[in-house]
Amino acid sequence: MTEHDNPATSSDHDPTLVLLKVEEAARRLSIGRTTCYALIRSGELESIDIGRLRRVPADAPAAYLARRRAARRAA
């Protein structure tokens, strides 16, 4: 099985995606799903509800990382 055969992996780097599943956002940040949900709960990682679904804007993981890096530089 190649990387392209696995839909969970191939969607991680799809530049056309506007919203990510929480699991996809967690993979982009190299963190676990539970940690990702904790960041969402705390408001550190932006997310939205669509019906009963929780989605993370595709640019939110990069924005979270940029805020963390800026905070680390300021400390």
The better pLDDT of the pair 1, 50 is held by 50
Percent of the chain with pLDDT over 70: 83
* pTM for the full predicted model: 0.79
- Give the pair of three-digit tokens for residue 70: 């800026």
- Give the pair of three-digit tokens for residue 41: 């709960």
Q: Which of 59, 58, 19, 61 shows the shortest CA–CA distance to 40?
A: 61
For 32-57, how does the pLDDT look when each residue is reduced to its tens digit (9 = 90+)? 999 999 999 999 999 999 999 999 99
C-alpha distances out from residue 66 to 9, 30, 49, 52, Å:
24, 15, 23, 29
H/E run at residue 40: helix 33-42
In this structure, are strands 53-57 and 19-21 parallel, antiparallel, or unpaired? antiparallel
